[in-house]
Chain A
Amino acid sequence: MSGLPTISCFDLFASRSRTNWRLKMAALTSPLRVCRGILKEIRALKGPEYKQTLAYNYVLDQFRKNQVSSERYCRAQEEALHASQSYLCLLTSTRLNLALHKLYHGKGERGLEEAAGMVGLRLPKQPGGKGWEK
């Protein structure tokens, strides 16, 4: 896709390690690589039987259909490539986001007793009840 601008802040941020794959993502412009990327993501989602999924067959079929064209400028092909790049980005980002979510997201509120226990406190107990229970 030659119409895309090269973004120079990639260079600016290149010193940071995570920008390396970010750079790689942006460079994924060849249809073959995008196709492989998507299939890899489907495999990550579905495991070994990923070839039986709807998405696998559809993606492969679409890439094959869009493959052959002797036109100099093929709008449909460019559109399809951009859409497939977006889809790859969707799958990859969702996977990475979920991984971080699993790692860091809280499991919900703790109970009163548990929360007190975290700082070494115990809830007071009144053997005779608090007076208002029936």
Chain B
Amino acid sequence: MLRNLIRLYSRPSYAVWDRCPSVFQGGQAHLFTLLGNSKAYSSATSERKKFYQDVSISQGDDGLFEINLDRKKLKTPGGKLFTVPNEALAIAVATEWDAQKDTLKFYSMHLTTLCNTVLDNPTFRDKDQIITAALKFLETDTVCYRVEEPSALVELQKNEWDPVLDWIEKRYNVVIGSSCNIMGPQIPEETKDTFRQHLGSYNFWALTGLEYVITQLKSVVLSFGLVNRHLTVEQAVLLSRLEEEYQIRHWGNVEWAHDYDMYELRARTAAGSLFVHLSSESSTVKRKLLQD
């Protein structure tokens, strides 16, 4: 039975490794043991030869869904059985594996990465630590930092960011505000408490996804806008990259940098947002009562 299990080592198998150095706080000692005993975490773009043909899903006795590559069960890099709570997520992950051609490009499998992160929890964080890490982004929220010049960018930021800021202040009944100062706006404690409470209402899976979105967009405000369906992924990413877009308009677009970044950010944000949706939903079918 054990021989039927596949363990896949690769660095980008966890979502916390990229773009977010702050998560290493508190987990450092563990992290180095993790890194020390597996050379497989070494490269950002590690690929591996594809070793399977068919991808299917199956439901275990506990109701959780598993991924089967040919006749073997997929495992996480940490060695656990790869299981997800619902069919939709299982199919989305299976599709990622099915989409690989000759080599497995782990860096393009964002949903798999997120699931691995939840299952293995490589930085050994609990819910409170994740919430604290996520809320740190509120203090330096992208949409709260404004420039003073050039005037066109000042106006652009005002026109594009103010509506989202207004929306979130009304939606959650909080005060956030914006600032041109390098110290950023003074966020009241009540605001943080409100968001702490809201983040606390998510389960561990959804919270991991939401924190991932926040670290990608560098904004709690935009992330809440996204998971509340106030913004689409494209809009949230555009707003997160507003200054870059402005500079591109001035200085021109470089495909291998700007477009590459944008598509990557979109893919990651979309994966995170979908992950939040899929892990917090409880699918129910309501039938209408027939009226005579």
The answer for the CA separation of A4 and B159 in the assembled complex, in Å, is 16
The answer for the CA separation of A68 and B255 in the assembled complex, in Å, is 42
Does the CB pair B264–A93 fall under 8 Å?
yes
Interface residues of B, count at CB 8 A: 50
Q: How far is the CB of A73 from chain B (nearest CB, A)?
A: 13
Q: Which residue of B is nearest A90, CB measured?
A: B270
- B238 located at the interface, meaning its Cβ lies under 8 Å from any Cβ of chain A in the complex: yes
Q: Which of B70-78, B177-185, B228-236 contacts A (4 or more CB under 8 A)?
A: B228-236
Residues in A with CB closer than 8 Å to B207 are none
Scan residues 1-38 of chain A and give those whose CB is less than 8 A from a CB of chain B: 1, 3-5, 7-9, 12-13, 16, 18, 22, 25-26
Interface residues of A, count at CB 8 A: 41
The answer for the CA separation of A33 and B51 in the assembled complex, in Å, is 35
Q: How far is the CB of A104 from chain B (nearest CB, A)?
A: 4
Could you say which of B56, B253, B255, B266 contacts A89, with CB atoms under 8 Å apart?
Answer: B266
Does the CB pair B263–A9 fall under 8 Å?
no
Residues in A with CB closer than 8 Å to B229 are 1, 3, 78-79, 82
Q: Which residue of A is nearest B109, CB measured?
A: A94
Q: Digit string of A84-107 for contact with B (CB within 8 Å is 1, else 0)?
A: 011101100110111011011100
Q: How far is the CB of B221 from chain A (nearest CB, A)?
A: 14
- B98 located at the interface, meaning its Cβ lies under 8 Å from any Cβ of chain A in the complex: yes
Does the CB pair A83–B95 fall under 8 Å?
no
- A116 located at the interface, meaning its Cβ lies under 8 Å from any Cβ of chain B in the complex: no
Q: How far is the CB of B168 from chain A (nearest CB, A)?
A: 12
With contact pairs A18-B259, A82-B232, A97-B263 given, residues A13 and B245 touching in the complex (Cβ less than 8 Å): yes
Could you say which of B156, B232, B239, B270 contacts A4, with CB atoms under 8 Å apart?
Answer: B232
- B131 located at the interface, meaning its Cβ lies under 8 Å from any Cβ of chain A in the complex: no
Residues in B with CB closer than 8 Å to A89 are 232-234, 266-267, 270
Residues in B with CB closer than 8 Å to A86 are 232-233, 270, 273-274, 277
The answer for the CA separation of A87 and B267 in the assembled complex, in Å, is 9
- B99 located at the interface, meaning its Cβ lies under 8 Å from any Cβ of chain A in the complex: yes
Q: Taking chain B's interface residues, is the majority helix, strand, or loop, or is none over half, making it mixed?
A: helix
Could you say which of A9, A25, A45 contacts B99, with CB atoms under 8 Å apart?
Answer: A45
The answer for the CA separation of A18 and B263 in the assembled complex, in Å, is 12
Q: Which of B29-37, B86-94, B118-126 contacts A (4 or more CB under 8 A)?
A: B86-94
- A39 located at the interface, meaning its Cβ lies under 8 Å from any Cβ of chain B in the complex: no
Q: How far is the CB of A25 from chain B (nearest CB, A)?
A: 5
Residues in A with CB closer than 8 Å to B110 are 90, 94
Scan residues 149-172 of chain B and give those whose CB is less than 8 A from a CB of chain A: 156, 159-160, 163, 167
Residues in B with CB closer than 8 Å to A100 are 255-256, 259-260, 263
The answer for the CA separation of A22 and B232 in the assembled complex, in Å, is 12
The answer for the CA separation of A78 and B228 in the assembled complex, in Å, is 11
Could you say which of A8, A13, A97 contacts B249, with CB atoms under 8 Å apart?
Answer: A13
A–B pairs, 14, beta carbons within 8 Å: A9-B238, A53-B95, A54-B91, A58-B87, A82-B229, A83-B277, A85-B232, A85-B233, A89-B266, A93-B266, A97-B260, A100-B259, A104-B260, A105-B45
Given contacts A3-B229, A93-B266, A98-B105, 6 further A-B contacts (CB under 8 A): A5-B163, A5-B167, A16-B249, A25-B234, A54-B55, A96-B259
